[in-house]
Amino acid sequence: MTEEALPEGIVPIEGPLPGFRVETAAATGVVYLNGAHVAEWTPAGHKPVLWMSGSSDYQPGRAVRGGVPLVFPWFGGGPEGDRVPAHGFARLATWHLISAAVSPKGTATLRFGLDGPQVTDAVADSFTHDYGLEMHVSLGETLLQQLVVVAGDEELAFEEGLHTYFAVGDVRHTHVEGLEGEAYFDKVTGSCATQEGLVTITAETDRIYESASNTRIVDEAWGRTIQIEKVGSAQTVVWNPWVDKSRTMTDFGDDEWPGMLCVETVNSREQSITLAPGQRHLMSQTISIL
């Protein structure tokens, strides 16, 4: 799709990464071609919903610290913990724009594609090239993201995620509803547990919940509730690095952890996906301010 064909309300940008800025009556936002990465989304009349580190890298082929990094074809280090880069290579690859449109109400919909054969770097060579990905992003009063994975001529097994960084007023006065009673794997302690009551953040928190439920982030400091509705996802990951872990990340400011909370739409480990040749899988999330 050429720049000339872009509808009013969507403009190309070159910095800090190539991509597109959305400015409509419904919302503003930014999506980079690097990883089809939604970096900003601000619905009209609200504070920014997505968090972005002030220390993030913006280099093609490097992860961006914030917004909605895409996880494919493995989560973290993969089922055996031995895969690099962390969270796979799809978020580091340059996607292409398939189409762009703006609705009469100002919802901007951009569709991006990544074809397996396009991804030629050495890391991707450790994974089949016989697949296709599409990321559909609609930015308006709500944020809708749809990740479609299509298997080629071979069976395709993968993990996936939408690793959303949410902006909150103070994570110490924020809780997550919708995960009560759910089993989870605690990556901090290495043990399994069951969620008792609301999820509150009082230390480094890194949990993979076995839950297909919708969730709500209740931000007391900013007086807002963010709802995450999901389709095709069997797990929700909740992550905040807290003090010590933040200091180990060069692209994460030491004093930034109170302002963010990751609530992620995921299929990993026992919930990884296996597609038959030619089969498709859709995983989506719809984010809204209640």
The residues assigned a catalytic role are: 163, 264
Rounded distance, CA 61 to CA 66, Å? 15
By CB under 6 A, residue 239 contacts ligand TA6? yes
By CB under 6 A, residue 111 contacts ligand TA6? no
Rounded distance, CA 199 to CA 207, Å? 10
Q: Which is nearer to ligand TA6, 30 or 237 (CB)?
A: 237
Residues 258-277 that bind ligand TA6 (CB under 6 A): 262, 264
By CB under 6 A, residue 237 contacts ligand TA6? yes
Which residue type occupies 206?
A: D
Return the residue of 40, 159, 182, 206 that touches ligand TA6, per CB under 6 A.
206
Rounded distance, CA 213 to CA 19, Å? 32
Q: Which is nearer to ligand TA6, 63 or 228 (CB)?
A: 63
Host H or E run for residue 234: none
N residues, the chain: 290
Residue pair 50/38 in contact by the 8 Å Cβ criterion: yes
Return the residue of 66, 76, 116, 232 that touches ligand TA6, per CB under 6 A.
76
User: Which pair of structure tokens corresponds to residue 153?
Assistant: 């001529």
By CB under 6 A, residue 187 contacts ligand TA6? yes
By CB under 6 A, residue 52 contacts ligand TA6? no
Q: Which is nearer to ligand TA6, 92 or 135 (CB)?
A: 92
- Give how far Cα 261 sits from Cα of 62, 182, 273, Å: 21, 19, 26
By CB under 6 A, residue 102 contacts ligand TA6? no
By CB under 6 A, residue 83 contacts ligand TA6? no
Return the residue of 48, 79, 86, 115 that touches ligand TA6, per CB under 6 A.
86
Q: Which is nearer to ligand TA6, 100 or 185 (CB)?
A: 185
DSSP secondary structure, 69-97, as one string: -EE-S-STTTTTT--SSTT-STTTSB-EE
HSE value, Cβ hemisphere, 13 Å, CA-based, for 150: 11
Return the residue of 63, 97, 102, 273 that touches ligand TA6, per CB under 6 A.
63
Q: Which is nearer to ligand TA6, 208 or 275 (CB)?
A: 208
Host H or E run for residue 185: strand 183-186
By CB under 6 A, residue 160 contacts ligand TA6? no
Q: Of 133, 191, 185, which Cα lies nearest the Cα of 160?
A: 133
By CB under 6 A, residue 159 contacts ligand TA6? no
Strand partners, 147: 135, 283
Collect all residues with Cβ–Cβ distance below 8 Å to 281 and sequence separation of at least 6. Answer: 148, 149, 232, 273, 275
Q: Which is nearer to ligand TA6, 138 or 205 (CB)?
A: 205
Return the residue of 22, 51, 78, 87 that touches ligand TA6, per CB under 6 A.
87
Residue nearest to ligand TA6 (CB): 86
Q: Which residues bind ligand TA6 (CB under 6 A)?
A: 63, 69, 76, 86-87, 163, 187, 206, 237, 239, 262, 264
